[in-house]
């Protein structure tokens, strides 16, 4: 149980275009989802926290107009990188938390990540 998927796993796009990344909790309902960014050989940097049906809470320094997050249902959150530029190239990871997941009430379950390359 407690599986989180991400799609796509890898995306290459041209500078100026927008890219949407989906995060789904497959076997549980996620009241809260998180989006992280990870640079090579570095730790995870929390970008935003999203709760189903409400606006996402962004961390300081994260541009909310550039990184649009929508948590439309208890199983789906999306991250849209708008007008992507080469500096947005990174590894993006989502995670989901639910009190009903796998018997653990206080654990985040992570998706496999999406590697974004902006040319």
Tell me the window of 20-28, 64-72, 77-85, 87-95 that interacts with another protein (CB under 8 A).
87-95
Shortest Å, Cβ 83 to another protein: 26
Are 22 and 6 a contacting pair, CB within 8 Å? yes
Please tell me the distance from the alpha carbon of residue 21 to that of residue 84, in angstroms, as a whole number.
13
Shortest Å, Cβ 63 to another protein: 19
Task: Give me the 17-46 binding string for another protein, x by CB under 8 A, dash otherwise.
Answer: ---------------x-x---x--xxxx-x
Which residues lie below 8 Å from residue 65, measured CB to CB, with a gap of 6+?
A: 82
Binding of another protein at residue 104 (CB under 8 A)?
yes
Structure tokens at 110: 């992570």
Are 85 and 15 a contacting pair, CB within 8 Å? yes
Binding of another protein at residue 49 (CB under 8 A)?
yes
């Amino acid at each position: 149980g407690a599986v989180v998927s991400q799609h796509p796993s890898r995306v290459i796009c041209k500078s100026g275009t927008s890219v949407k990344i989906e995060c789904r909790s497959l076997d549980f309902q996620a009241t809260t989802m998180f989006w992280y960014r990870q640079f090579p050989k570095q730790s995870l940097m929390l970008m935003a926290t999203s709760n189903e049906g409400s606006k996402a809470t962004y961390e300081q320094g994260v541009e909310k107009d550039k990184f649009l997050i929508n948590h439309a249902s208890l199983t789906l959150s999306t991250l849209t990188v708008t007008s992507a530029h080469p500096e947005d190239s990174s590894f993006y990871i989502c995670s989901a938390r639910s009190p009903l997941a796998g018997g653990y009430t206080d654990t985040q379950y992570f998706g496999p990540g999406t590697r974004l390359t902006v040319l």
